[in-house]
A and B are shown apart, each in its own frame.
Chain A
Amino acid sequence: MNETISFWDAAFLWKEPMAAALLAAALCGYLGVFVVLRRIAFVSAALSQVSGLGIAVAFWVGSFFNVSPHQPSIPLYLEPLTYALLFAALASLLLGVPGHVKRVSPESLVALGYVAAGGLVILVLSSARIAQEAHEVGDLLFGTAVAVKREHLITLAVVAAGVGVLHLFLFKDFMFTSFDPLSARAMGFPVRGLDAALHLSIGISVAVATRAIGALPVFAFLVLPAGAALLHVHRLRLVIVLSLAFALVAAGLGYYLSFIWRLPTGPTMVAVAAVAWLPPLVRALFGKTRL
């Protein structure tokens, strides 16, 4: 990049990545309210790993058909994103199981998903069939907030719209089953179906957002803005608004700062997102409040 080019002059460079980052931030900032309230923060990390496994498997399967995932047109059944979505959807349903399992802690099942998927990604990528492509898989697995393909941005927009519509109609139901699932079941509410729908919307969002902007910022947007919002306010609507605002500021300002200071984009967005935690942390440090 030319040293003298200003941020605004370079709009053609960052327009689409910025749009993807803002969209992913809004999506994750909203879903993060459920993720944090349901105490399933690490489910999103596990889902990110599992969707990565889906992409690695797509590479491996493609090698049997002599199809490279980098070529311009790939049949749907070999498209890495198809595999990422399928794997994430399946995992999000399975990770919803802990609430109904008594002998294993929910954290153990999430850790199993995270570690097993992470290990399998390495094993699949070390297969001789795709070894020569492994060095290129990183970006496809975990995306990069600097360079976002238009098709990834479109997919992200479609998923965000779908999740928006789903949550517009089921928000109250998701909140009831998150707050008090036992009572909801006792009162005849279809808790399992609603849990599956919520987990599915989180799983698909994580898979698509990870592909677009990377695993680290997605995980951060799911946990940090909502967590900070909950420390600042106690009204549900305000929590959602504040979480969205924190996430959007982290994405926009993070991208801008990374551009002008030439820092890695994803980690800069994460650092900005973490700033919202500082006031309550400082207040807690001086005994003014409890976290």
Chain B
Amino acid sequence: MSPTALLKLERVEIGFAEALLPPIDLTIEPGDSLGILGPNGAGKSTLLNTLLGLMAPLSGRLSFPSGRRPRIGYVPQAHRPDPAFPLSAFEVVLMGRYPQVGVGRFSTARDKELARGQLDAVGLADESHRHFGSLSGGQRQRVMLARALVADPELLVLDEPTSEMDPAAEHALLSLVSRLGTNRGAAIVFVTHEVSAAAGFARTVALANRTQHYFEVGSPDAMLTHKKLSLLYGRSVGVQREHGHTLVWINGEVSDSEGGSPSTQETP
């Protein structure tokens, strides 16, 4: 075990009353990039909630080898925060500082400066005072990413952050996550439905399927294979690697990725 590991799961079973997946062994270290893949209802969000400490494991041991819970930055699913709230993009980003500021204390000029800097880093400095609800879906998720990053996270967690985005916006956001997260040495854990996102941006891939009681972790090359993805989705999934691209197709749809640049296209 690395002494610098942020989080360690040993024979952890997750779920509400009964275990959704087989016992999980997983270690997350600084700089890791873990993509969790699986169909709807696979147990991905339950696994994420357990990693975040929002749910207690049914059995096994979840520990923080550094002796404390890592600072966490969290990007929720795109539809989660209510855009009706009368908050500006800046006010939303500033919320990322609140765990450090503390309950009952006031944000300082330094917190505000960091929030402005982070908005700038995600390319939204000019939208700082715009109503959060009036931003596009992609811009809102960039605001959420800025909020997660301003917390100076050791662990950056993203729960299906691109689920309502078009491929270009998805690519832009994940590139940003990869660049900004990696620059800080933060570990990144993201849940996704997109095989291309996992292939392009994860250094480790976890496959989860509650129905098959299946969970496995490994490198993208070892995990994103015809055999494993077919088992994961319960149907034949084709995988082909060409010139650094990973081509994945299910029922006529092709997903293409290369070193962090995923895109999707229809099969001719």
Contacts and interface: CB of A to CB of B under 8 A. Distances in A.
A236 B91 contact: yes
Q: Is the interface of A mostly helix, strand, loop or mixed?
A: helix
Interface stretch (A59-67, A84-92, A142-150, A181-189): A181-189
A235 interface: yes
B98 interface: yes
B74 A186 contact: yes
Interface string A177-208: 01110111111111000100000000000000
Q: Which residue, A184, A186, A188, has most C-beta atoms of chain B within 10 A?
A: A186
Interface string B70-110: 01111110001110111110011001101101011111000
B69 A172 contact: no
B103 to A, nearest CB: 5
B112 interface: no
A230 B86 contact: yes
Contact of B98 (A173, A234, A238, A239): A173
A206 B98 CA distance: 29
A185 B71 CA distance: 12
Contacts of B88: 235
Interface string A75-116: 000000000000000000000000000000000000000000
Contacts of B147: 183
A234 B81 contact: no
A238 B131 CA distance: 13
Given A182-B76, A183-B81, A187-B99, A235 B86 contact: yes
Interface in A215-252: 230, 233-236, 238-239
Contact of B103 (A179, A190, A239): A190
Given A188-B69, A189-B98, A173 B84 contact: no
Contact of B72 (A182, A186, A236): A186
Interface of A: 37, 169-170, 172-173, 175-176, 178-180, 182-190, 194, 230, 233-236, 238-239
Given A234-B131, A234-B134, 19 more contacts: A169-B105, A172-B98, A173-B103, A175-B95, A178-B85, A179-B81, A179-B85, A183-B75, A183-B80, A184-B98, A185-B52, A185-B54, A187-B72, A187-B74, A187-B99, A188-B71, A194-B103, A235-B86, A238-B86
29 contacts: A169-B105, A172-B101, A173-B98, A175-B87, A176-B95, A179-B81, A179-B82, A179-B85, A180-B76, A180-B80, A180-B81, A182-B76, A183-B81, A183-B144, A185-B52, A186-B54, A186-B74, A187-B73, A187-B74, A187-B98, A188-B71, A188-B72, A194-B103, A230-B86, A234-B134, A235-B88, A236-B85, A238-B86, A239-B86
Interface of B: 52, 54, 69, 71-76, 80-82, 84-88, 91-92, 95-96, 98-99, 101, 103-107, 131, 133-134, 144, 147, 151, 157
Closest 5 CB pairs of A and B: A186-B74, A234-B131, A169-B104, A180-B81, A239-B86
